[in-house]
Amino acid sequence: MITTDFTPGTPCWLDLGAPDVRAAADFYGAVLGWDYESMGESEDMEGGMFRKDGKIVAGLGKLTEEGARSAWMIYYTVTDADATTEAVESAGGTVRVAPRDLDEWGRMAQYTDPLGGQFAVWQPGTNTGVELVDKPGSLNWTELYTSDATAAREFYGGVLGWQFSDMELPGGGGTYTLITPVGLPEERMQGGLMELSKEDLALAGGRPYWHPVFAVDDCDAAAAAVTANGGSVQMGPADAEGVGRLAVCLDPSNADFVVLAPTPPA
């Protein structure tokens, strides 16, 4: 489960780069019940915050990187963004955005893992991260689709100190690796990774990619809202034993995410 105590290695923030900020705000408002709060619009900057029940759940900004696809970026808490950058480079990753301060809020950096998956880190200042998780309309899991699970485990374990455990998916669906932050028990699992073929990674041109999983009260209703508002459902809704009912979705700009109605605790 994801919490807001944001210990090292835990997801603490996510933001979406979208070609049309207003259209993205309308879409996620319809699907997840988010309210959009603009931080300003100009030639150089357009974006703001998503809120659910008054609490910040994500960020939204204009997609400006040449040739980039619209996608969610997930940030993980670190105690020292500069030291993490050194670890990334030593482990064969590359720096997309060098560590930089965002006023007094904190220090951030963005990277690409050795296989091509993009992620980010946040060294908190006055701002530790999102204000709501693990509730309907908020982040409750993170997931990496990768071309080499063993290499991904080695890289992220070295850089972020993650602990891993494997489970076999039913019906011969392959191995799913569960991710737990360093030093925390398995009930604090925060995400997973799965090895897929290059063909199954076509959304990102054959490269690995991260995506968020958002909790919802009703998966079927959320999936219907996705298609009704210009998005598409790539898989599901379907039941996953012990997990809940989920659907893999794309927004109108093809940014991927999952909606999950979790199985109630026993």
> Of 36-50, 209-223, 232-246, which range is least confident?
36-50
Task: Give SS3 for 28.
Answer: helix
Q: Is the dihedral of CA 124, 152, 190, 200 positive or negative?
A: positive
% of the chain with per-residue pLDDT over 90:
86
Tell me if 257 sits within 8 A of 212, measured CB to CB.
yes
> Mind listing the pLDDT tens digit for each residue in 245-262?
999 999 999 999 999 999
Tell me if 7 sits within 8 A of 162, measured CB to CB.
no
* Alpha carbons 110 and 108: distance in angstroms, whole number: 7
Q: Domain of 233: which CATH number?
A: 3.10.180.10
> Of 65-74, 102-111, 115-124, 230-239, which range is least confident?
65-74
Q: Is the pLDDT of residue 43 over 70?
A: no
* Alpha carbons 35 and 28: distance in angstroms, whole number: 8
Domain with 115, as residue range(s), is 1-266
> Mind listing the pLDDT tens digit for each residue in 118-165?
999 999 999 999 999 999 999 999 999 999 999 999 999 999 999 999
The whole-number pLDDT of residue 264 equals: 81
**Structural domain count, the chain:** 1
Mean pLDDT, the chain, rounded, equals: 94
